[in-house]
Structure 1
Amino acid sequence: MENFRKVKTSEEESPLPFSDLPSGVVEMKVKEGSKIRNLMGFAMARMGLEDTRQIVFSGCGRAVTKTVTCVEIMKRKLGGLHQVTKVQYKTLVEVWENKDAQPEGQVEHLTVHKNVPSICILLSKDPLDTHQMGYQPPDLPDGLWVNEGAPREDKSSCSSKGTKRRLRTPPCEEDPLRKKAQL
């Protein structure tokens, strides 16, 4: 493959894996080179509108982690969003061409089909089917780690410095450096 260079990459179009989506649902296609700031600016503006009730984030390959990051940011900023996650595989088609010129002057092309992981995440302001595979309810308003009715701990009483301890060798092992120092 060192004599070839990638000319074109395309992904096969496939419908969203969610049934009964309204016609005006916002679909955010996250790519590897997408900037999270740009994606979130657009998505937050659209979800801020009263008539936008659902949004779908989708990404494949190296964009999967960026897709999940966008969803988590939106859930934290807006709160109260129901989520359904679907994971699948998509086929990417890559076209490569030979760098070296052929004696006849023709360029040799190579087509590669790759199956890459893909994720589609539906966020909704309205309740979704809780029995659907991949459903996550909205987060609790106070967060997951706070007990109701329990007083919060005062962090000022905790020491910010740890205690340093000297590493000691077990008595059964002899340290050759210590032996030399004693002589």
Structure 2
Amino acid sequence: MEHYIKASEINVPCLPPFPAELTTGTKEMIVKENTKFKNILTFVDKLFEDTNCRLVIFKGVGEATAKCISCVEVFKRNYKGGVLYQWNKIVFTRRTDSWLPMVESLSKILVHVDVPTVYILISKDPFPDDCINESSQDSSSEARFTFDNEAMSNGLGSPQEKPKLLRTLGVNKWNRPLKKNCRIQKQQLLSKDKS
């Protein structure tokens, strides 16, 4: 591709893969790779302050899918207005890249790329029963997992439940070597402790 230069990039528009009765008139937030969380989150917070706004769609294409998911998780964590309901869909959208040759003997190239796209529908209201599937969830439910006939929640619990690490004064060969300043200070502390 060293003899070609990218001329254009055309994204084929894709409608949200949710039922039309849910998404008509719903605001779609397009999260890009360079989108600032603060801008999106303040805008969606203002949207959800309006009692008439019940739904919002987050969309991330290609490299921005991970950022879109993170943005939704931060929004759900910061939302104080009650329970939120979430529905996820992943689809592939088509992008066409046009490459022009820099050498006259070569011809123009069109490259069709299927790009992953994530759609996340956030709602203040529960979804209809016919729409609920394995990708639907709400922010109030806590997942529980079973392991060796014991149930445990998805979290580590409070910090008091964590075991304390035992620190020994002996040399541990797996520790990172101390910096020169720290080494001198530690030697001084050890000499004070011995006396």
Normalising by structure 1, we get a TM-score of: 0.71
Post-superposition CA distance 1:10-33 (Å, at most 9, x none): 211122111022532111122233
Counterpart residue number, 1:6: 6
Take 2:60 and 2:51, find their aligned partners in 1: how far apart are those partners? Answer: 26
Q: Take 1:124 and 1:77, find their aligned partners in 2: how far apart are those partners?
A: 15
**2:160 corresponds to 1:145:** no
Instruction: Report which stretch shifted further, 110-119 or 91-100.
Output: 91-100
Q: Secondary structure at the match of 1:17?
A: coil
For residues 9 and 64 of structure 1, the distance between their equivalents in structure 2, rounded to whole angstroms, comes to 19
Q: Cα gap change, 1:111/1:128 in structure 2, threshold over 3 Å: closer, same or farther?
A: same
Q: Post-superposition shift, 1:85?
A: 0.3
| Counterpart in the other structure of 1:65 | 66
Residue of structure 1 in register with 2:85 after alignment: 82
Separation in structure 2 between the aligned mates of residue 47 and residue 99 of structure 1, nearest angstrom: 51
One-letter amino acid matched to 1:69: S
Q: Which amino acid aligns with 2:48?
A: M
Are 1:93 and 2:96 matched, yes or no?
yes
**CA–CA distance in structure 2, aligned partners of residues 10 and 39 of structure 1:** 25
Q: What amino acid maps onto 1:27 in structure 2?
A: E
- State the partner residue of 1:16: 16
User: Larger % of helix: which?
Assistant: 2
Structure 1 gap segments, 5+ residues each = 168-183
Determine the C-alpha separation between the residues in 1 that align with 2:85 and 2:116: 23
Q: How far does the alpha carbon of each residue in 1:139-164 deviate from its partner, in whole angstroms, 9 at most, with x for none?
A: 359x95377xxx87288x946x8445
Q: Give CA deviations for 1:91-139 in whole Å, capped at 9, x if unaligned.
A: 1111122234x28xxx953211001111100000111146324101213
Deviates more, 1:23-32 or 1:109-118: 23-32
| Structure 2 counterpart SS, 1:96 | strand
Distance 1:153 1:87, change over 3 A: same
- SS of the residue aligned with 1:132? coil
Q: Does 1:114 align with 2:121?
A: no
**Corresponding residue number in structure 2 for 1:132:** 133
Distance 1:45 1:60 in 2: 24
* Count of equivalent residues: 157
Closer, same or farther in 2 for the Cα pair 1:152/1:38, shift >3 Å? closer
Matches of 2:77 and 2:43, distance apart in 1: 16
SS in 2 for 1:117: strand
- Give the alignment's TM-score, normalised by structure 2: 0.67
Deviations 1:18-52 (A, max 9, x none): 10225321111222332323222222221222211
Q: How many angstroms apart in 1 are the aligned matches of 2:42 and 2:59?
A: 16
Partner of 1:180 in structure 2? none
In structure 2, relative to structure 1, the CA distance for the partners of 1:48 and 1:162 (3 Å cut) is farther
